[in-house]
Amino acid sequence: MKYRTLGRTGLQVSEIGLGCEGFSGRDETFTKEMFGLALEHGVNCMDLYSPDPEMRSRIGRMLRGKRESFVMQAHLCTVWKDGQYQRTRDMEEVKASFEDLLTRLQTDYIDIGMIHYVDSVDEWKEIADGEVMQYAFRLKAEGRIRHVGISSHNPAAALAAVGSGLVDVLMFSVNPCYDLLPPDENCESLWLESSYEKPLLNMDPDREKLYETCQRLGVGITVMKAFGGGDLLSPHSPAGMALTVNQCIHYALTRPAVASVMSGVRSAEELQANLDYETASDSERDYASAFAALPKISWQGHCMYCGHCAPCPQGIDVATVTKFLNLSKAQGAVPETVREHYAALAHTADACIQCGACESRCPFGVPIRENMKEAAALFTGSSAK
Ligand code: SF4
Ligand code: SF4
């Protein structure tokens, strides 16, 4: 298992984490089997949005003796009513649900306290200026949550939250189909067939800006809906053909700032398929060829950070250099951290000999040679040969 730093929290999280959907309504034996498999493969983090009390208790028992080495991202503002989960902003309910969470998990802290499901800019403003954020910061000051985050499906709301400086972690729906759609307060538009009826071209600029801003400000992203709730794995996927588990996970993990994909699996077989990503070959992970052939979607001229253009005879990691270039262009200046990371690369853009081998392998027609020239000039003031 590979581990990544979750932005400025400094937490080390496994690339594959556990979602909680599959645990609700299941018994102790199932929970043990899933945790056993996950821990055996090095999974060290989980997202727990559901306040299902029995599930919380079962997970608490699984974490006995392991709590300190496990990163728990759990949600504020969810409550269990009439046998099902609901979102709430009622402070009495929010507080009672958090106390219940700690008791049932048998712990006195949560690593990331996620403010659940903020899908409009107006709602974000209410949260930021209101009692929910005050409560989250009080918990943080008391050490009962270590970091504050939000979950969202809407890039406009998420961007407002990330830009505020109030949140350290964003849980966001990341997959190649949702990434094509513009911001919308109604998250259901992400999975409506009608949203994908007309041909779609390139990633939505707001989503791209969101990922780049997260990377720039050190806000780590944990991913939900990497498979669009399973839709992307179906032959009737919005992309027009089935994608694979490995392609979807790799796509999410190659977005800027993403640290972990929280797998909302419902069986040991599904979990194993997610864990197999860690030992999958480059060609099994490679989403570039499949995406370039998707009947309904085009990413022409747009770098997907897929790495399909490798190897470069000069050893340049084109995907990483391009990511740094785009981050800097988005900000209008080179952030200091990006400059440092660029300088630490084994081979930088000024080593480019303009041979064009990479461009012949890029399925998206990215002008790589121009990008390398631009990167060399921007980062070191030199020129690619
Ligand atoms: S330049 Fe093309 S092949 Fe290379 S990482 Fe970007 S999209 Fe992929
Ligand atoms: S054009 Fe530059 S970046 Fe591309 S393969 Fe040749 S040397 Fe490498």
pLDDT digits (tens, 9 = 90+) for 147-177: 999 999 999 999 999 999 999 999 999 998 8
The pLDDT, as a whole number, for residue 211 is 93
The pLDDT, as a whole number, for residue 85 is 87
Residue found by looking up tokens 């032959």 in the block: 235
- Each residue's pLDDT tens digit, 342-375: 999 999 999 999 999 999 999 888 999 999 999 9
Question: Which residue has a Cα nearest atom 3 of ligand 2?
Answer: 352
CA of 201 to the centre of ligand 1 (A): 16
The pLDDT, as a whole number, for residue 21 is 84
Per-residue pLDDT, averaged over 180-187, amounts to 69
Half-sphere exposure of 376 (CA within 13 A, CB side): 19
CA of 315 to the centre of ligand 1 (A): 15
CA 273 to chain centre: 18
CA of 334 to the centre of ligand 1 (A): 21
Enumerate residues lining ligand 1, CB below 6 A: 288, 303-309, 318-319, 322, 362, 364, 366, 368
The pLDDT, as a whole number, for residue 198 is 66
Residue 376: nearest ligand to its CA? 2
Q: DSSP string spanning 53-64?
A: HHHHHHHHHHTT
CA of 211 to the centre of ligand 2 (A): 26
Q: DSSP string spanning 225-252?
A: -TTGGGGGGSTT-TTSSPPPHHHHHHHH
pLDDT tops 70 at residue 248: yes
Closest atom of ligand 2 relative to the 359 alpha carbon: 4
The pLDDT, as a whole number, for residue 188 is 66
The pLDDT, as a whole number, for residue 287 is 84
186 or 178, which is more confident: 178
Enumerate residues lining ligand 2, CB below 6 A: 312-314, 316, 318, 352-358, 368-369, 372
Closest atom of ligand 1 relative to the 368 alpha carbon: 1
268 or 382, which is more confident: 268
Provide the pairing of β-strand 71-76 with 78-81.
unpaired
- 201 — phi, psi (to 5°)? -120, 115
Q: Give the relative orientation of helices 318-331 and 368-380 as an angle to the nearest 10 degrees.
A: 60
Dist CA 283 CA 216 (whole Å): 30
pLDDT tops 70 at residue 191: no
CA of 305 to the centre of ligand 1 (A): 5
Dist CA 104 CA 296 (whole Å): 46
pLDDT tops 80 at residue 308: yes
3-state secondary structure of 144: coil
- 113 — phi, psi (to 5°)? -90, 105
- Each residue's pLDDT tens digit, 101-155: 999 999 999 999 999 999 899 999 999 999 999 999 999 999 999 999 999 999 9
Dist CA 162 CA 165 (whole Å): 6
CA of 252 to the centre of ligand 1 (A): 15
Q: Give the relative orientation of helices 91-105 and 53-62 as an angle to the nearest 10 degrees.
A: 30
Counting residues of the chain whose pLDDT is more than 70, the rounded percentage is: 94
CA of 320 to the centre of ligand 1 (A): 10
Residue 199's pLDDT band, with cuts at 50, 70 and 90, is low
CA of 287 to the centre of ligand 1 (A): 11
Beta bridge partners of 87: 78
Per-residue pLDDT, averaged over 302-326, amounts to 91
3-state secondary structure of 222: strand
Tokens of 376: 């060399």
Counting residues of the chain whose pLDDT is more than 90, the rounded percentage is: 68
pLDDT tops 90 at residue 290: no
256 or 193, which is more confident: 256
Q: Which of 364, 370, 372 to mutate to test the pocket of ligand 1 (most atoms within 8 A of CB)?
A: 364
Tokens of 4: 């990544």
Decide if 369 contacts 349 (C-beta within 8 A): no
The pLDDT, as a whole number, for residue 204 is 78
Per-residue pLDDT, averaged over 373-384, amounts to 85
- Each residue's pLDDT tens digit, 270-289: 999 999 999 999 989 988 87
Question: Which residue has a Cα nearest atom 7 of ligand 1?
Answer: 303
Tokens of 340: 């440092």
Residue 59's pLDDT band, with cuts at 50, 70 and 90, is very high
Q: DSSP string spanning 61-91?
A: HHTTTTGGG-EEEEEESEEEETTEEEE---H
pLDDT tops 70 at residue 192: no
Look at residues 224, 272, 269, 273 and name the one whose alpha carbon lies nearest to residue 247: 273
Tokens of 34: 């899933």
CA of 302 to the centre of ligand 1 (A): 8
Question: Which residue has a Cα nearest atom 6 of ligand 1?
Answer: 303
Q: DSSP string spanning 165-184?
A: T--SEEEEE--TTGGGSPP-
Question: Which residue has a Cα nearest atom 7 of ligand 2?
Answer: 352
Residue 326: nearest ligand to its CA? 1
133 or 180, which is more confident: 133
pLDDT tops 80 at residue 42: yes
Three-class SS of 317-383: CHHHHHHHHHHHHHHCCCCHHHHHHHHCCCCCHHHCCCCCHHHHHCCCCCCHHHHHHHHHHHHHCCC
Q: Which of 208, 254, 306 to mutate to test the pocket of ligand 1 (most atoms within 8 A of CB)?
A: 306
CA of 179 to the centre of ligand 2 (A): 28
Residue 357: nearest ligand to its CA? 2
Per-residue pLDDT, averaged over 81-103, amounts to 94
pLDDT tops 80 at residue 97: yes
Residue 299: nearest ligand to its CA? 1
Dist CA 260 CA 385 (whole Å): 38
CA of 135 to the centre of ligand 1 (A): 44
Q: How open is the CA angle 29-30-35, to the nearest 5 degrees? A: 100
Residue 355: nearest ligand to its CA? 2
The pLDDT, as a whole number, for residue 57 is 96
Superfamily of domain 3-285, CATH level 4:
NADP-dependent oxidoreductase domain (3.20.20.100)
Provide the pairing of β-strand 200-201 with 3-5.
unpaired
The pLDDT, as a whole number, for residue 185 is 61
Residue 367: nearest ligand to its CA? 1
Question: Which residue ranges make up each domain of the chain?
Answer: 3-285, 318-380
Residue 235's pLDDT band, with cuts at 50, 70 and 90, is confident
CB-neighbour burial class of residue 148 (10 A; exposed 0-12, middle 13-18, buried 19+): buried
